[in-house]
Amino acid sequence: MASFDIVSKVDPQTLENAVNTAQKELLTRYDLRDTKGGIELNKKENTILLSSENSMRVKALEDILLGRVVKQGIDGTSLDFTADEQPSGQLIKKTIKVRAGVDKDFGRKIIKAIKDAKVKVEAQMQDDQVRVTAKKIDDLQAAIAVLRRADIGLPLQFVNMKS
């Protein structure tokens, strides 16, 4: 049986480069020159912390970060901007989570998209990835084409193709 895995991951070195260039841009921007706080990457928790005096500057930091991440070749949907801003003393902080792995909700969306396309493959969740199996490689390639067209809301990579 032929198979492949669907994963969602971000290269940590590329992400670190994007954060570093965003920090450099923060230092050179005239409208943000007196900003306290900044952009910090937490590699262990896989998060990025934005901090500034007001929410307008936090939004500007988000824009800088997103622009740099996209320029480094990372899909912008791999960052989760849904967290709320939290006041912390004189600063406002916002934690942005970097999405790694396919969680259960996105796994269900992926499996549903494959089943709705009526491709002759079987998909199942395995930890933080989805394994797709079929009798023919052509069916697997059809499933990949369906997922590339579908709007899952998560950057997907197709790895570990076996025939």
Q: Where are the domains of the chain?
A: 1-6+99-160, 10-96
Q: Give the domain 10-96 fold.
A: Alpha-Beta Plaits (3.30.70)
**Residue closest to 14 by CA, chosen among 66, 57, 74:** 74
What are the strands, taking DSSP E only, across 70-121? Answer: 79-80, 86-88, 91-98
pTM: 0.80
The pLDDT of residue 34 is above 80: no
**CATH topology agreement for domains 1-6+99-160 and 10-96:** yes
pLDDT of residue 48: 93
Residue where the block lists tokens 């909700």: 105
The pLDDT of residue 71 is above 90: yes
Q: Give the domain 1-6+99-160 fold.
A: Alpha-Beta Plaits (3.30.70)
